[in-house]
Amino acid sequence: MLLVVSGASCVGKTTARLHARHLLGETYETAELSTLGPIPAAPTVAWRQERVEVAVRRAIALEAEDRHLLLAGDPIPVGEALAAPSADRIDIAGCLLDLSDEAHLARLARRGEPSPANQAFAAWLRAHAHDPGHLPEAVTTDAWPEMRWDRWVGRTPGPEWATTVIDTSSLGPAEAGEAVADWCRRAVAGIAPVFRAGWFAR
């Protein structure tokens, strides 16, 4: 299974992954895009999406060993993972790390990052987690040509479109890691929502 943790800047994606990997054991491999290959000087949306396909293929390879890939650390919406060319060959679960606006602004300020764009993207991710029809051009503009947007663009909200949301506003790093590790286990067990391979054709 490919387990994708998404979220805007400063929500704690990388930190949660680093804590979660010690709790998950050898059955899980963890990664972010920078661990899957070099990052170009000026990363583009198309580059990110092409690298997501690399992650999907890695997850497929791990599945043959009864293992799973936790991808966390980058702003990858679940829709990008689902549209990767090879994504129809593996189960994918999505988890959004979210924050209250107040907590997000505070973290952005500590890191010195511009807040309007980051907060707007956080709001989009929040909507995307429940509604595939919400402004898909946020990820389809300047996209990698191989992406299969037809799998979900144009869909309306429904039970088949489900993402787990974890509010990290009051969680410390270790607590966020525990929450992500727990989500991974629940997804693999079929308790948390999962997009089964080929879900879009059903």
Domains of the chain: 2-201 (3.40.50.300)
Name every residue whose Cβ is closer than 8 Å to that of residue 144 and which is 6 or more positions away in sequence. Answer: 45, 46, 47, 49, 50, 53
The tokens for 119 are 């907060």
Q: Please give the pLDDT value at position 191.
A: 98
The residue assigned the tokens 């580059």 is 47
Average pLDDT score, the chain: 95
- Report the C-alpha gap between 95 and 54 in whole angstroms: 19
Contact 144, 46 (CB under 8 A): yes
Residue 103 banded pLDDT, cuts 50, 70, 90: confident
Mean pLDDT for 98-109 is 88
Q: Which of 87-91, 92-96, 198-202 has the lowest mean pLDDT?
A: 198-202
58 Cα distance to chain centroid: 15
The answer to whether residue 118 scores a pLDDT higher than 90 is no
Q: Which of 86-90, 96-100, 116-120 has the lowest mean pLDDT?
A: 116-120
Tell how many helices (H) and how many strands (E) occur in the chain.
7, 5
80 Cα distance to chain centroid: 8
Helix (H, G, I), strand (E, B) or coil at 30: strand
